[in-house]
Chain A
């Protein structure tokens, strides 16, 4: 679920994830690997713990994640 998802409750958006999460810097460091694991059908969250929680709490990193995933998927299709 995205941090900006309208179905996500206001309290959830305000308080963010409760699980341990990586920092923005670590998220950027791991983002390419995370996206390729996702697109390959692997369990990216088990392989790279802390990423999912951060993406739920940080709208900017979540946007970067969605954009990279969409771009790589498109390039692989073309």
Chain B
């Protein structure tokens, strides 16, 4: 489902793109291994079982990679529990991959396609585990506290005025739900998967709420004469 503003060329382009040419060392070998794994998964009987075993091993490597990246967030999590999280992530990713195998369109190597499932699962599990027992306050008092703070040394007068204008627009232009989601995600940096779990919704639904709130705020700021290009330029 397209919930935001996908560029008009996106869907057409996504259909026609061929797999990128692999120019890195080992790319051809990786391509063959990836194709062999996909071929095995499309067989029946022992060949498929063996491919599923290989895929699960690959997903375990991906899960451990992700959890190792997040070691700082999981400092109080035992080695055994991290291993359990990795296994859960690999199991859940395997189920998702097998259910969606027919949707693989070959725009990347199969292994890259498979890895994204396990990184998503491991990332979500790690974020939720890191926030386990922490309260997510769903009220918009945080903005008032923020707006009353002393400006940082790096903050210009223009920044301060813009932030004050954002606070005004939040009150006048956002619904209560949009305000709560905006404050939790954009101001308090609550992980979106954690908030989605607490509100029994999805990452995509929450991001749409955030996107709509940002759009309303931008429009309000523009009406109030605040230039935005210097603050929100999208360079990488």
Contacts and interface: CB of A to CB of B under 8 A. Distances in A.
Given A41-B23, A60-B191, A23 B208 contact: yes
Most chain A CB neighbours (cut-off 10 Å) among B22, B109, B112, B229: B112
Nearest to B114: A32
Contacts of B35: none
Interface of A: 1, 4, 9-26, 28-33, 35-37, 39-42, 47-50, 52-54, 56-60, 63-64, 67-68, 70-72, 74-78
B98 interface: no
A50 B23 contact: no
Contacts, number: 183
A23 B1 contact: yes
Interface of B: 1-7, 9-10, 13-14, 17, 19-27, 30, 62, 65-66, 69, 107-109, 111-113, 115-116, 119-120, 123, 127, 155, 159, 162-163, 166, 182, 186-187, 189, 191-193, 203-204, 207-208, 210-211, 214, 217-218, 221, 228-229, 231-236
Nearest to B10: A50
Interface of B is mostly: helix
B120 to A, nearest CB: 6
A7 to B, nearest CB: 10
Nearest to B120: A64
B6 A20 contact: yes
Given A15-B231, A70-B69, A25 B211 contact: no
B234 A75 contact: no
B5 A17 contact: no
A56 to B, nearest CB: 6
A11 B204 contact: no
A57 B116 contact: no
A40 B22 contact: yes
B125 to A, nearest CB: 13
B10 A15 contact: no
B234 A48 contact: no
A64 B108 contact: no
A40 B23 contact: yes
Nearest to B196: A60
